[in-house]
Amino acid sequence: MLLTLLAATTVAVVRVRSLFAVAILSGIYSFLMASVLLVLDAVDVAMTEASVGAGIAMVLMLGTLHLTKTEEARPTHSPLLPLAVAATTAGVLIWGVTGLPPFGAAATPVHLAGPDYLARSLAETGIPNVVTSVLASYRGFDTLGEITVIFTAGIAVLLLLKRSPRRPGQDG
Amino acid sequence: MRLDVILRVVTKMILPAMLLFAVYVQFHADYGPGGGFQAGVIAAAGFILYALIYGLGALMRLVPVALVEALVPMGVLIFAGVGIAGILAGGDFLDYSHLLHDPVHAQEWGIFLVEVGVFVTVASTMLAIFYAFAARGRR
């Protein structure tokens, strides 16, 4: 049911030409994705998806729309080349999915390393939520990398958008 | 929109709840879902809502642009600083166990401080990007 709604939203995003509607639809997509993650018992990820994907990303998209036109421009090139690239990428991805272990298989790394963390976390860090202890302590270096990425992205956006003095008489 | 009484009053009612929820998500992450990422985004969303309803100027008086931009690298520095404090205390980089005498207690403190760093960078980056977009459109 959720996956059907996801597919329907994706089709709507592709079909609709009003960018305002596309921004709202992508918010809906994020909320559906958060529900899917909730069904998979990934509460932390679902929360992130709901707040970042549906909340902030939508505000930023609407902010961008404020700066640009709200109607999608007509394509100026033939759609054949992008279509070929998209179809090839989709084919490669589907081919890659066939190489994954079956859903819930016991012999995957996540199930081999997981119980170790579950057993050690409370005794070593005193924190009952294993997601937090893995994120901030056992895999702290990864998380440092993540916030460095956010920092870098933020700085890049500021460099591009913030101090771009417009010459007088130029209206964009 | 700024003259809409219903939006202004409702915003006034739900803003404290939003910010309180951000704090809850931040500090309750040891026991339930949440953490610096989610709490930072929720707090930033609260501030952005304030700007949408009461105007960008009101938010800029409340949270100056210079403060937000100073906080963006501050969170990364807090995180890396905790890591370096781990080295100085005799462990490896980002090993919190040596920060205090009791390793378990030290881990709790290390995770707490690291999550604060995540919160600071995420919230201020979101706000800084919002400022960059909004200020550009206003000109």
Where chain B has pLDDT below 50, the residues are: 1, 139
* pLDDT at res. A20: 85
pLDDT in tens, A46-56: 888 888 888 88
- What would the mean pLDDT of A119-139 be, rounded to a whole number? 80
* pLDDT at res. A93: 95
Confidence of residue A172 (pLDDT cuts 50, 70, 90): very low
Cβ of B79 and A150 within 8 Å? Answer: no
CB atoms within 10 A of CB A102: 8
Question: In sequence order, which ranges of A19-139 are alpha helices (DSSP H)?
Answer: 19-39, 43-48, 57-67, 80-97, 109-125, 130-133
More confidently predicted of A94 and A127: A94
Provide the mean pLDDT of chain A. 83
Q: Which of A55, A132, A143 sits opposite B29 (nearest CB)?
A: A132
pLDDT in tens, A64-101: 887 777 677 777 778 889 899 999 999 999 999 988 88
More confidently predicted of A21 and A68: A21
- C-alpha atoms less than 13 angstroms from C-alpha of B14 in its C-beta half-sphere: 12
For residues B72 and B66, give the distance between their C-alpha atoms in angstroms, rounded to a whole number. 10
More confidently predicted of A105 and A147: A147
Residue A5 has pLDDT above 60, yes or no: yes
DSSP code string of chain B: -TT-HHHHHHHHHHHHHHHHHHHHHHHTTTTSS--HHHHHHHHHHHHHHHHHHH-HHHHHHHS-HHHHHHHHHHHHHHHHHHHHHHHHTTS-TT-GGGSSSSHHHHHHHHHHHHHHHHHHHHHHHHHHHHHHHHHHHH-
pLDDT in tens, A108-124: 777 777 777 888 878 77
More confidently predicted of A129 and A30: A30
Cβ of B110 and A56 within 8 Å? Answer: no
- Chain B hits for A164, Cβ within 8 Å: 136
- Chain A hits for B29, Cβ within 8 Å: 129, 132
Return the domain boundaries, chain B.
5-138
Residue A171 has pLDDT above 50, yes or no: no
* pLDDT at res. A65: 82
Residue whose tokens read 């005794």: A123
Global confidence as pTM:
0.81
ipTM: 0.82
Tell me the CA distances in angstroms from A128 to A119, B37, B76, B108, one per residue in order: 11, 19, 26, 11
Provide the mean pLDDT of chain B. 86
* pLDDT at res. B138: 53
Residue A8 has pLDDT above 60, yes or no: yes
- What would the mean pLDDT of A15-37 be, rounded to a whole number? 88
Q: Please, is A25 exposed, middle or buried when counting C-beta atoms within 10 Å of its C-beta (0-12, 13-18, 19+)?
A: buried
Cβ of B107 and A143 within 8 Å? Answer: no
- What would the mean pLDDT of A132-144 be, rounded to a whole number? 84
- What would the mean pLDDT of A136-152 be, rounded to a whole number? 88
Cβ of A55 and B139 within 8 Å? Answer: no
